[in-house]
Amino acid sequence: MKAPISVVTTFGLGRTPAQVGMLEVLAERGIVADHIAGTSLGAINASLLAAASSADEMTEFWAWIHDEILSSPMRAIARGLTSRQARKQEKQVRERFAQLLPATFEELHVPLSLSCTALETGAEVVIDSGDLPEAVMASCALPGVFPPVSIAGAPLIDGGLVAGVPLQAIPERTRTVIVLDTGHSAVSPDVVAGYRWWEVGALSYAHQIRGQAVHALVRMATRVPVVVLSTSGGRLLDFDDPTSAIEAGRRAANQQLDVLPARLRKGVYNLPSGLDEFEVLQDLQVPASDG
Amino acid sequence: MDVPGPRSAEQRSAGDPIPIARLLPKPVVYVMAGGGSHGAVQWGALQALSQTDVEPDAIIGTSAGALTGSILAEDFASGVHRIAYVWGQLNMSFLVGDKWLTRGMTQVRAPGMLSNDTQEATLRSILRTGRIEDLEVPFAAVATDLATGRPHVFDRGPLIESLLASSAIPGVLTPVEVAGRTYVDGLASANLPAIQAMQRGAGSIVVLDTGARKPAEVGTSPARVIGRVAGIMASSQRRRQLREVARELPVLLLPTPHDLGGSLEFRDTMRAGSAGYSMALSYLADLALHRRRRLRSGLWARSDDPGVSEELRPMLREVPL
């Protein structure tokens, strides 16, 4: 892998902790990020990585947020529907960020960019300087769970809505992009047969986010090698057990890095199932035998 | 009253019918976006297009746009008149019945809050053609495969079933099973199916969009934020569709009103149709007057169209005025 390397953490709801397992594997193999981009709940992992937090610290954070806030997403949203509760949930998380993260982007070890969505215009807003905990809070302000966060006068919410795979912020100098992909939204047809109406609604949103990722990946993969580490283990809509998600991330990253050739070329490596149905991405897929 | 005025002297001088066909490389595809009650805008846009010499070689639509498009595809000559009578009557009771609110509350475990039976009966009272391939103008309706999240283009098979699939709003209406797969509204994958039209060989595209709501003061209360999510995702998807296609093809984006009410409110459909008609007609007349040569690839639209966001500006092609 040619440096500089950008590591990207995606949207992933209940599967986001899997990125911690993937980051552990990257560290074990001596793969170091020269730039980090994150969005949605993935912004938490991105900023912890940029702050040189250990895998243990990350694991502890996910166990905490699972127990305190996200153990039942429906209940978290039901609570978030009252402004007072949404602010209370936000305050808990914000205090935690203040303990774990430096106060500003400028104090980080590695440059970091976080994607958010502007509530008013629906545009993607990338933040890479200033108040760090504030920016992480904005990037992961899941609608209905946390209130919007105002930065420079504009209310911002979850970046996953418009940038599920936040590649907009990758610097020109980057030579390799590693995407820690937890946004896999395709499910088997017999699973959807038993879905209730709110699951149908939530899955449709996840699909929309996934669809956007395709075009972001295409644009990036025509420029540099894009290595996708991806797990479909665990459930997107359920925050059951962060520890098993982290383990699934570890397993997937090890398997997928093992088959990677020593020298990479432009294109997508390890195109996850679901995305491989998009013809444009198929064309950019580098076969496993290559190299 | 909100009634279109007569054409201006300049608009009349564009000719009758307005000569637009020479500008559009064939095959010409009408792309009809979804948008619930905002679909009334397309009724007006189609009336304006019926005053030009353009005849679509194919029509592709999503959700409400698929419904309106299928009526035009069934019989081109009478279509625009029949569409007027449909939109003149359409309201929630034709789509989900009268007791939808109370009934919806009870369906806690169902895959949709509401059944599609009422909508199906309404569609059967409008359309007389059983199968898509038997429509007069080649037609396709776009739905989303719920398992994979991919758009699915229905271009043959039972018409009513495909329209129900294309407009089954996820979480609200009941997903539709066709040949063992489950489908929801095309809004989840391709609400403005321009890429799908291009993939099917369009030479140029006429986009019949559905406008937008009045930009209300954006509140930050949880309910307001959740209410904005669908709109944010739809506009991001729409930008992507238009950008990808305008790179390759001439895309004619008819102007639409951006001061509409909610997309499930049917009180103002007549006003939406009226605005859709006047805005489209005046743009088409300007285009005919000021452009002689065939359109090249890019986004052909009014420069002040609020539907052309910052991201789309680089592809904008203006008619010199």
Q: What is the pLDDT of residues A38-68, one digit of tens each?
A: 999 999 999 999 999 999 999 999 999 988 8
CB B210 within 8 Å of CB B39: yes
> What is the structure's pLDDT at A267?
95
Contacts of B148 in chain A (CB under 8 A): 186, 207, 274, 277
> What is the structure's pLDDT at A116?
97
Q: Is B219 on the interface with A (CB under 8 A)?
A: no
Overall average pLDDT of the B223-245 stretch:
87
User: B216: which residues sit within 8 A by CB, 6+ positions away?
Assistant: none
Contacts of A188 in chain B (CB under 8 A): 147
CB contact under 8 A, B111 and A197: yes
Confidence of residue B321 (pLDDT cuts 50, 70, 90): low
Interface confidence (ipTM) of the complex: 0.89
Overall average pLDDT of the B153-178 stretch:
96
Backbone angles phi, psi at A277, to 5 degrees: -80, -10
pLDDT in tens, B181-219: 999 999 999 999 999 999 999 999 999 999 988 876 567
User: B137: which residues sit within 8 A by CB, 6+ positions away?
Assistant: B56, B57, B58, B59, B72, B73, B76
Confidence of residue B106 (pLDDT cuts 50, 70, 90): low
B 290-309: CB under 8 A from A: 309
> What is the structure's pLDDT at B228?
83
- With a cut of 50, list the residues of chain A below it in pLDDT: 291
CB contact under 8 A, B233 and A208: yes
Mutate to test the interface with B, among A39, A204, A214, A280 (most CBs of B within 10 A): A204
> What is the structure's pLDDT at B217?
59
> In chain A, whose CA is at the least distance from the CA of B110?
A196
Q: Which of A82, A189, A212 minimises the CB distance to B236?
A: A212
CB contact under 8 A, A208 and B226: no
Tell whether omega for the bond before B25 is within 30 degrees of 0, i.e. cis. no
Q: Is B320 on the interface with A (CB under 8 A)?
A: no
> What is the structure's pLDDT at A71?
74
Q: Is A123 on the interface with B (CB under 8 A)?
A: yes
Q: Say whether pLDDT at B9 is over 80.
A: yes
CB contact under 8 A, A197 and B218: no
CB contact under 8 A, B171 and A197: yes
Strand, helix or coil for residue A124:
strand
CB contact under 8 A, B228 and A193: no
Q: Say whether pLDDT at B286 is over 80.
A: yes
Distances in whole angstroms, Cα of residue A228 to Cα of each of A256, A266, A286, A288, B293 = 8, 13, 11, 13, 46
Residue B207 has a CB neighbour count (10 Å cut-off) of 28
By percentage, how much of chain B surpasses pLDDT 90?
Answer: 80
> What is the structure's pLDDT at A38?
98
pLDDT in tens, A137-171: 999 998 888 889 999 989 999 999 999 999 999 99
CB B284 within 8 Å of CB B232: no
**Cα distance between residue B153 and residue B133, in whole Å:** 13
Q: Is B1 on the interface with A (CB under 8 A)?
A: no
Q: Which of A122, A204, A215 minimises the CB distance to B188?
A: A204
Q: Say which residue, B129 or A90, is predicted with more confidence.
A: B129
Distances in whole angstroms, Cα of residue B229 to Cα of each of A161, B143, B170, B199, B226 = 8, 20, 14, 28, 5
> What is the structure's pLDDT at B104?
65
Confidence of residue B314 (pLDDT cuts 50, 70, 90): very high
